């Protein structure tokens, strides 16, 4: 199992959180997504190393941005 964290910008409410959660949840290998609205912190659990580009794409697909860490 591997855990990675991202900072997502542009989320303003629970609906945004739901959209980001569901889009990242579709990425291959992802087993869990936790989004903290106040900080934009997104914790992704996966069953193997995750392709960061796919997570980034998923977040952009949802209409938000991954901040550079
Ligand atoms: Cu919203």
**CATH code for the domain in which residue 25 is found:** 3.30.70.100
Cα of 32 vs centre of ligand 1, distance in Å, is 20
Return the pLDDT at 69: 60
Does the pLDDT at position 52 exceed 80?
yes
Residues of the domain holding 32: 2-66
Does the pLDDT at position 20 exceed 70?
yes
Band (pLDDT 50/70/90 cuts) for residue 68 is confident
Query: How many structural domains compose the chain?
Result: 1
Residues with CB under 5 A from ligand 1 (ion): 12-13, 15-16
44 token code pair: 């992704």
Return the pLDDT at 25: 98
Cα–Cα distance measured from residue 16 to residue 37, given in angstroms and rounded to the nearest whole number: 8
For residues 10 and 16, the answer to whether their CB atoms sit within 8 Å is: yes
Cα of 63 vs centre of ligand 1, distance in Å, is 10
Cα of 20 vs centre of ligand 1, distance in Å, is 10
């Amino acid at each position: 199992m591997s855990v990675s964290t991202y900072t997502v910008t542009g989320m303003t409410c629970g609906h945004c959180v739901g959209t980001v959660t569901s889009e990242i949840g579709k990425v291959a290998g992802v087993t869990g997504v936790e989004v903290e609205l106040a900080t934009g912190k997104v914790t992704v659990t996966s069953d193997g190393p995750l392709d960061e580009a796919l997570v980034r794409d998923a977040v952009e697909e949802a209409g938000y941005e991954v901040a550079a860490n």
